[in-house]
Amino acid sequence: MTESQAPAPGAPPVSPYAGQALSPDKWVNVSRLVTAYYCNVPDPDVAAQRVAFGTSGHRGSSFLTTFNEAHVLAISQAICRYRQRHGISGPTFVGIDTHALSEPAFATVMKVFAGNGIDVMISEGGEYTPTPAVSHAIVTYNRRRSAGFADGIVITPSHNPPDNGGIKYNPPHGGPADSAVTTWIETQANELLRSGLRSMPRMSVEEAMRAATTHPYDFLNTYVDDLHNVIDMDLLRDSGIHLGVDPLGGAGVHYWPAIAERYRLNLTVTRTTVDPTFGFMTADWDGRIRMDPSSAFAMRGLIAQKNAFDIAFACDTDHDRHGIVTPEAGLLPPNHYFAVVVEYLFEHRPEWRSDAAIGKTVVGSQLIDRLASKLGRRVYEVPVGFKWFAAGLLDGSLAVAGEESAGTGFARRDGSVWTTDKDGLIPALLAGEMMARTGRDPGALYQTLSHALGSPVEARREASATAAQQAVLAALTADKVRSKRLAGEPINAILTQAPGNDAPIGGLKVVTDHGWFAARPSGTEPIYKIYGESFQGDHHLQQLLGEAQSIVDAALGDAESLPRIVSAPENAPDAGAS
């Protein structure tokens, strides 16, 4: 499911606008949004208006005074302090997506970084930059270095609605910063807000762009020219498979034509529109515009064209997530496709390390565990957030890693690191490689896989939650589960820490032989979520979720005082780790 406000109590789980084009009066007013970015000043005494790094950076809306110039000034200066504190003396690679607030936030970042005398690498000609292109640049620059390491910033709220802005920090390993880093930056930034942002070195935007420390970098061609080292582009070209891609108006809009030209692919870009209102999108399940390639509602336009291509795909606004569409299966659920990716890669990447593991989150499918057992591979299971995979992808101990929310990364064909952040482009292209080599699309490959190992059904529920309720849920302990059975099966494990790295999962997971549930607060919204999966069908899944709900209600106290929980619609996977 995507990041969103939970439906109001009693409201239907799916908006009547879901999957429909919205009228212009429902689009974001970009002029007012940008005006609010500069004019609304956050009050650090109001919790909701402070800097808050969720699972992937600070996000918010200028209308709500949660993403404004003061926030970005404070975060930028805090990052400068972090760099100085940790001796990071190389350049900072900065990328931006196509959200309306990304351009003004970029200008703010440049003022601060130039004022601090930091070398900044920005895209040539103002080109938008996908998250994976920034990670690729950091990893490439730092390879074989022992000092002078680079880091990066990506200005994006991922697939969030058009009125959102976001900024995240990638340290020298190239992936999302871990909690210790983001907590330090967050604390420093909020202290700067409280001080009124006094005594901050900064330049005007014009001075910053002309500064000797500001350098152009060809993110696009550097990334595109290297793709053959992670995907078999020769095989894909020679197959003649007709590929279709919808960039969803995101940062990769010019990357796809460059990829098609560079590798002579039979690839059609179905839409090249870049519009900060994103009014060309169909509304997501809750009636809001959201550029989520794993949502059937947001992907309605590409799904309608599925028969025009052998395989079609889309990526979200910063191109770190993917959605795969085939003529027979339509839009593949992320967990289904990730299982196919894992099986295919380990069968067709002979140079990968024999001990390289599979990374998954605690809310990823149990099918991955069954597949890993078949492949003789170890599973590295971590809390929600791609940041937990960065170190393993960098050192090669992880060959492939994925989230239930359609975020995936994997190694180069020779087993070395590609990127350490999610990359939506390479799993999209891999779908074509799969078909070129096997003669079957990923939907058909999943059917074979699930027939052999089991066919899970999954669902997610959510409801509004106060900060206090979220804190209670995050601190759930095993003694809150008093029963020894779940949905008729003996309980095998009650987890509050992830098996892979022993890190707190910020909630609770209960596992049986044929199913599991996990309950956790959102890292980016005032809601909580219950995930469930069963290998025994829908009836068993609903029984499992019902018992999970009772556990959560008891933990949070008076269940009648809570907003009524609603089922998240199918094909709307989680976005908490974007």
CA 504 vs CA 495, 501, 512: distances in Å = 9, 9, 20
Distance between CA atoms of residues 323 and 292, nearest Å: 8
Say which amino acid occupies 335.
N
Distance of CA 114 to the CA centre of its chain: 29
Distance between CA atoms of residues 6 and 462, nearest Å: 7
CB within 8 Å of 309: residues ≥ 6 apart: 242, 243, 244, 268, 325, 327
167, 109 Cβ separation under 8 angstroms: yes
Strand order in the sheet with 267-269: 267-269, 243-246, 311-315, 322-326, 330-331
Tokens of 485: 């059975």
Beta partners for residue 494, in sequence order: 510
Tokens of 50: 């402070």
Residue holding tokens 């971590």? 382
CA 138 vs CA 254, 291, 327: distances in Å = 21, 26, 37
CA 102 vs CA 67, 72, 156, 255, 526: distances in Å = 11, 11, 6, 19, 23
Which one from 158, 295, 365, 534 is the annotated catalytic residue?
158
Distance between CA atoms of residues 507 and 529, nearest Å: 10
Tokens of 398: 């992880």
Strand order in the sheet with 398-402: 379-382, 357-361, 398-402, 408-410
Bridge-based pairing state of the strands 379-382 and 151-155: unpaired
CB within 8 Å of 286: residues ≥ 6 apart: 4, 5, 7, 14, 15, 18
User: Residue 158 catalytic?
Assistant: yes
Burial of 22 from C-beta contacts in 10 A (0-12 / 13-18 / 19+): middle
Distance between CA atoms of residues 53 and 101, nearest Å: 17
Closest of 434, 424, 80 to residue 252, by C-alpha: 424
Distance between CA atoms of residues 577 and 568, nearest Å: 17
Distance of CA 534 to the CA centre of its chain: 24
DSSP designation for 144: T
CB within 8 Å of 173: residues ≥ 6 apart: 138, 390, 391, 394, 420
DSSP designation for 196: T
CB within 8 Å of 304: residues ≥ 6 apart: none
Tokens of 496: 């509050």
Burial of 200 from C-beta contacts in 10 A (0-12 / 13-18 / 19+): middle
335, 323 Cβ separation under 8 angstroms: no
Q: List residues with catalytic annotation.
A: 158
